[in-house]
Amino acid sequence: MIIAVDGPVAAGKGTLARRIASQYGLVYLDTGALYRAVGLLVLRRGQDPNDQEAALKAAQSVSEISLEDPELRKEETGNAASVVAANQDVRAALLDYQRNIANQKPGAVLDGRDIGTVVCPEAEVKLFVTASAETRAKRRFEELKSKGEDVSPEDILADLKQRDARDQGRNSAPLVQAEDAHLLDTTKLDIEAALAAACRIIEETVSAQSG
């Protein structure tokens, strides 16, 4: 079974997808971490994320960055990730890795932007997780502040709007809700309530498919 969890910046996809995977004993992949790793590698090499060739080279050697590297979660890395993610060749280079994980037994939960539309259109359950821009910016600000990053709430909201626009407006695999995805708005839900709502959707969808 594959569960696709897509949605905009800081909608809480990661925490939710990780919890869903542990609840059902499935493998978990944060696909945003792959794009962040490409962005981080470009920055560490002193290159420009807009440089198409540099971004592709970084995608081809993305295993040089550990997916546990704490710098992956930095705001600057997220912004670089959103730039390299608009590059069609970068996306193609990361596709097989994502599909291999998706097809592991007994199943997997992947979170990102294009899991239900491009990476795994055959996913049995698709969730599109969102929240208001202000709520998402507040959550991201708290996350970064707790890690000691020196950021302002205004800058976080501005970055978030810019990244959403870039993710939605790009030609290659833009962020869009799949036709068969279930919308989950977490503006008023804490993580436990969001998990409960997600599990309800998953169980209803699976039982409708098997019945």
**What is the contact surface with ligand CDP in residues (CB under 6 A)?**
9-10, 14, 31-32, 35-36, 78, 81-82, 85, 112-114, 163, 167
Nearest approach in angstroms of CB 124 to ligand CDP is: 18
| Residue closer to ligand CDP (CB basis): 42 or 114 | 114
Nearest approach in angstroms of CB 71 to ligand CDP is: 13
| Strand-by-strand arrangement of the 27-30 sheet | 27-30, 108-112, 2-6, 125-130, 182-185
Nearest approach in angstroms of CB 166 to ligand CDP is: 7
Largest CA distance in the chain: 55
| Residue closer to ligand CDP (CB basis): 91 or 182 | 91
| Residue closer to ligand CDP (CB basis): 176 or 201 | 176
| Residue closer to ligand CDP (CB basis): 191 or 200 | 191
Residues 6+ apart with CB under 8 A from 60: 93
Q: How far from 136 is each of 9, 40, 69, 143, 196, CA to CA, in Å?
A: 7, 23, 23, 11, 20
